[in-house]
A and B are shown apart, each in its own frame.
Chain A
Amino acid sequence: MRRIVPLFILLLPLAALWMRPSAAVDQRLVVYVRESGSHLLREAVLRSDIQPSAVFDADTGTLVLREGPVPGGQVLAVFEVSNLGLLLESRLIGLTPPAALGITKPLVLLADGKPHEVDSAARLLEGDVEIMSVEGQVVVLKYGGRLLELGPGEAFVEVYVLDEEGRRVVTSAADIEAALDAGLAITRLAIENLGMVEVVSR
């Protein structure tokens, strides 16, 4: 009995954390990571079963989560993947730096009640995104061997095209249109630091 009582007291905060109301409101540093592709699916899937895990209301600066609870950690990342505008993946990642987001893991799209393989070869990312540190609201990231420093409201965007010579970065709308005309695979990665945001979980 003597052993159980301290253990019980020790577990009380954990139990309280677990039982906290789901409609909790939280201020979190939010990083939005969106990958857009053109050739990720081998079938013409027009509709996906994936629902956004969070909706950012720009008017109120509130991030509304589809389901609670809010993942723990110093940074809340929202990772989304789409193919020609069709949402393939939407995930909430809670982490404390230094930690990798794990965005290069293979994906499977659930659509029409069945799985559709996402072509990893058509994902032209330079690698995973790693959050190295957070100073105030400034996030330091590591991507493709580069260190990126994003203040609140700042974004990093890079567009890649795969042609005969391999993967290359394009920087203009004309390049993208030319790639679309040529039927080349395109990937865009956008990382945005939304800063401290009120996160509402239902």
Chain B
Amino acid sequence: MRRLVTLILLAALLATSPAVVAGPRRPPLILVNGFLFGPALTWGIGQRTSDGSYIPLRGSSLFNALLQEGYVPGESLFIFEPSGDYVAAAPDFLAFAAEVRRRTGADRVDVVTHGSGALVVRYAALEEDPRIRALVMLAPPNHGTFLASALYAAAITERCLELDPRQRARLRDPDYVFDLSDPVPYIWRRAEAIYQPAFRRYLVEVEFVPSPLAAAVGRGLAFEHWLAQQEIYEENILRAQEPLSQDGKPSEFTAAYYDLLAVIVARTAFMREIAGTEKGGVIGALSRPRVPAGDLKQVLYDYLLQVVRLYANRLWQLLQHRGASLLAVEAARLAGIEGDGPAVRRLVQEEVAFPVGRDGAGREIFDIVKANHFLAEWNRRSWETAAGEGSGKPLKSAIVAGRAYDLFGEVARGVGHNDRFVEVEATFRRPHLDDHFFVYEHPFAATFLGLTRQPGVIEYVLGHLRDIFPSRLTLEVGARRPWSRTIDGSASFLAPVYYRFTGQASLQGLTFTVKADEGGPPGSRVALWAYAEGPWGVELVGRTEGSDVVTLTGLRLPPGAEGLIVGVRALHPDLAPATLHLFEGKVRPFQLTAVMESPLPAGDLEAEEAAPEEDVVVLPQPVETQPAFIEVIRKSRMTTRKREDRTYHVRWEWDFGDGTVSVDDDPAHTRVQVTHTFPSPGRYVVRATSYSNEGRPLRRKEWTVEVSPGDLVRTFYVETVEEPRVELELKGPMLWVTGRPANFQVVPHITAPPHAERVTYRCYPSDEFTVVWNKPGTFTVRAAVTVKTNYVFPDQRITTWNTYVVTREVKVATTSISD
């Protein structure tokens, strides 16, 4: 009995054990956390046991999901915890990745980073190729610095300003030797010697310039922008990306970083000198040394009351929202700085007018966006270096940014701002063709640490690790010549779309053409590229780009190539971190045509002859296909009993939370933008629900908005599912005889709709089938295709099944008559 129970338990355990993804062996995965939070908090790892295994945390976390996915810590899953800063940690990471490859025998590794962990990997890639297949960066501060830097900057600034005159005089000595283990004296010296005079020069040349000619600039220029145009900036910041050295030992940070701190110190010192010694934030309150004249007891009482009120307010906010970013913001506030992004972001920032389109009269329409010149420039240079042949550029990188709504009011205003701009800015100046950007929106959870806990983000990460080039459709190229296929698609600016072509004997000589329609901002381009796919991985075999029509031809496939992956994406020269939001949701519709026109070269003909004679067959995506040929002996009037069954959007229902509801019954309105005026200031929860033709909710979206007295109008944008465009063709005879098999073929032409991550289909009774009639008459041959569409929205995944029917009339005569 006990054995039986044990067996049952074992069977149950096996049945519930984590599913291991089938398919080719996956590269090992390295998780790289940032400097601010350790791996346990970042990845949701519970407890590490003495034998090196982990007891995962309860609830949703990326680490748990990886275990479920079949990753085994120590065998296929590794954690790299950087220390120091990204410059110091980069060599350690390279050594770690090499050791993982050696231990697992893998050629490449996959890497998932969080926060500043991305900087470690990027910096390492500048030095040496870490052989990364897929790099997924969660909330990477590629375009800014991290909060730790901001805290560090604040602390350094305060200490610099507290240096007394005697110390300062000593530091002015040209022979003074700086000990970089404490960078404060060095930074102060740089601030005083270089950046304070620069700030004064800026004031004279820009702010108070007495010449009328200077007014022609139209408006003032920010100090940081002015500085970015000076030689000292080029020399001391832009190019000084190496650590300072002292006695042959490198300093903790790069020379540029110390100088960036010196810029902050210089400006703060200058302003304090003019405005007095007032400091903001808690640190200001606590560090104000002079007690005002008056009743000391009363002063102390007021002071304590002020501090208690401040902390009580923060605590209340923390208890209310419990957001991880809020904690970080609190830490920043305690240090006396604002939590609305990294310090460096504040350094160089300006506003530019960016063209976003044209109005009806053909005139350009602009949007005002923020731009950060210094960091954009640094990032551009970094990636240019890294993107060369044989460099550390991964095959594909994906960036996940969080966008939390700015719900936190005055106290933690920075949370939403930080997530929106810092993490969305975590992009490159111009994306590489295979780069993906994913902005996860959630009112509370899209925070810095919250990202690794969200099912939508976890699924996105796993998807990238499972399939490096997830294709919309797989087409098998048959042996017959000529052959062509046309696919309708939409090219996004934020992610490529892939199509996979298989058919080993037939791929040489394929020509691909993309014809893109108008769309996106003026100056948009379209890119088309192809990878050969084989047991050795993938290899780029061609790429091209142009304004609207591009063609790839003469592709040379390496030996052993089993398939071609063709990528299409929209490009724009001004797609940059600060302008990313302008490209969200914008697409360029296109037609991809694959043509095999010319006969194959002589050498390939032999292989072609050996291939079975078959026409073009579009392979269904699911594995569960029926056998290709089914003999259907007609007994009823129908070949399949499948009926047309479609699901599509018909109705929007809006609830604005202020007692106003509205309904939009136009089925064509799958993407809507609604502007609503709220009756009074306050916090409102706005809900939009899309209903299907069957009356079921298809998509729900919810916003929480803070409406202020001067700004009662809000605009909401939402999309729901669009039905895929499906055209069916049933190939077969129209005249036939009894007793002989008639062959039929179902050919569906499917256009994937927007947000469709995957479109698969299944044919009924099969994609090819045979019918035999045993009596004469006129019959209707009926076939059906069920299309399964997986839609992915940032906050929701939706799957629809639509069945479409195609028929063909066949006149069947008796054999005696036909004979």
Residues of A within 8 A of B (CB): 21, 23, 25, 32, 34, 36, 38-39, 41-47, 51-52, 55-58, 60, 62, 64, 66, 78, 80, 82, 84-85, 87, 112-114, 153-157, 159, 170-173, 175-177, 180, 183, 186, 188, 190-192, 194, 198, 200, 202
Q: Are A23 and B410 in contact (CB under 8 A)?
A: no
Residues of B within 8 A of A159 (CB): 208, 210
Would you call A32 and B218 a contact (CB within 8 A)? yes
State whether A44 touches B275 (Cβ < 8 A): yes
Interchain CA distance A170-B280 in the complex, whole Å: 34
Interface positions of B from 245 to 277, Cβ below 8 Å from A: 267-268, 270-276
The answer on a CB contact under 8 Å between A56 and B218 is yes
Give the shortest distance, in Å, between A3 (CB) and chain B (any CB): 29
Nearest-neighbour CB distance to chain A for B601, whole angstroms, equals: 53
Contact residues in A for B351 (Cβ distance below 8 Å): 51-52, 55
Report the minimum CB–CB distance from A113 to chain B (whole Å).
4
Q: Are A172 and B210 in contact (CB under 8 A)?
A: yes
CA distance in complex: A153, B212 (Å): 11
Cβ–Cβ contact B365 & A180, under 8 A: no
A41–B222 alpha-carbon span in the complex (Å): 17
Pair B208/A186 contact, Cβ less than 8 Å: yes
**CB <8 Å contact, A42 and B278:** yes
- Which residues in window 717-759 of B have CB below 8 A to A? none
With A84-B271, A155-B215, A155-B216 as contacts: A64 and B203 at CB distance below 8 Å: no
Query: Do B275 and A41 touch (CB < 8 A)?
Result: yes
Q: Is the CB of B200 within 8 A of A177?
A: yes
Ranked nearest first, the 10 interchain pairs of A and B with the lowest CB-CB distance are A155-B215, A56-B218, A190-B215, A44-B271, A43-B278, A64-B353, A64-B366, A157-B212, A113-B410, A36-B207
Shortest distance between the CB of B428 and any CB in chain A (Å): 25
- B residues less than 8 Å from A175 (CB atoms): 210
Closest residue of B by beta carbon distance from A174:
B204
Residues of B within 8 A of A200 (CB): 363-366
Q: Are A156 and B212 in contact (CB under 8 A)?
A: yes
The closest CB in chain A to the CB of B223 belongs to A85
- Asked if B280 and A112 make an inter-chain contact with CB atoms under 8 angstroms apart, the answer reads yes
- Indicate if B533 sits at the interface (CB-CB under 8 A): no
A157 contacts across to B, CB distance below 8 A: 209-212, 214-215
A85 and B222: CB pair below 8 A?
Answer: yes
Number of interchain pairs (Cβ within 8 Å): 148
> A46 near B207 (CB under 8 angstroms)?
no
Cβ-defined contact, B210 with A173, below 8 A:
yes
Interface size on B, residues (CB 8 A): 50
Pairwise interchain contact A85-B216, C-beta atoms closer than 8 A: no
Instruction: Report whether B338 and A47 are in contact in the complex, using a CB–CB cutoff of 8 Å.
Output: yes
B80 interface contact, C-beta 8 A: no
The smallest beta-carbon distance between A128 and chain B, in angstroms, is 19
Write the nearest CB–CB distance from A157 to chain B, whole angstroms. 4
Does the CB pair A36–B272 fall under 8 Å?
no
Chain B residue contacts of A51, Cβ below 8 A: 351
Contact A82 B210, beta carbon cutoff 8 Å: no
> 1/0 contact trace for B190-220 toward A, CB 8 Å?
0000000000101111111111111111111
A188 and B205 CA atoms in complex are apart in Å by 12
Contact pick for A23, options B223, B267, B359, CB 8 Å: B359
Residues of A within 8 A of B364 (CB): 60, 62, 200
User: Bound state CA distance, A55 and B207, in angstroms?
Assistant: 17
Are A153 and B216 interface neighbours, CB within 8 A? yes
Q: For the complex, what is the distance from the CA of A41 to the CA of B299, rounded to whole Å?
A: 25
A194: chain B residues within 8 A (beta carbon): 218
Interface residue? B367 (CB, 8 A)? yes
The answer to the question of B413 belonging to the interface, with a C-beta cut-off of 8 Å to chain A, is yes
Query: Is A113 a contact of B210 with CB atoms below 8 Å?
Result: no
Contact pattern, B 413-428, Cβ under 8 Å of A = 1, otherwise 0: 1000000000000000
- Cβ–Cβ contact B220 & A36, under 8 A: yes
A46 close to B271 (CB less than 8 A): yes
Q: What are the residues of chain B within 8 A of A84 when measuring CB–CB?
A: 203, 207, 270-271, 274
B352 proximal to A (CB < 8 A): yes
- Chain B residues with Cβ below 8 Å from A21 are 359
CA distance A52 to B351 in the complex (A): 8
Bound together, the chains give a CA A114 to CA B205 distance in angstroms of: 31
Chain A residues near B211: list those with CB within 8 A.
157
Question: B346 interface residue, CB < 8 Å from A?
Answer: yes
**Assembled-state Cα–Cα distance A192/B276 (Å):** 33
Q: List 22 A-B contacts (CB under 8 A).
A: A23-B359, A36-B220, A43-B280, A44-B279, A45-B280, A46-B267, A46-B271, A46-B346, A55-B219, A58-B217, A66-B368, A112-B280, A113-B411, A113-B413, A114-B410, A153-B216, A157-B214, A175-B210, A177-B200, A190-B212, A200-B366, A202-B367
Interfacial chain A residues near B202, Cβ < 8 Å: 85
In the assembled complex, the Cα of A84 lies from the Cα of B509 at a distance in Å of 65
Contacts of A46 in B (CB 8 A): 267-268, 271, 346
Is B361's beta carbon under 8 Å from chain A? yes
> Contact at A44–B272, with CB atoms within 8 Å?
yes
Contact A42 B368 (CB under 8 A): no
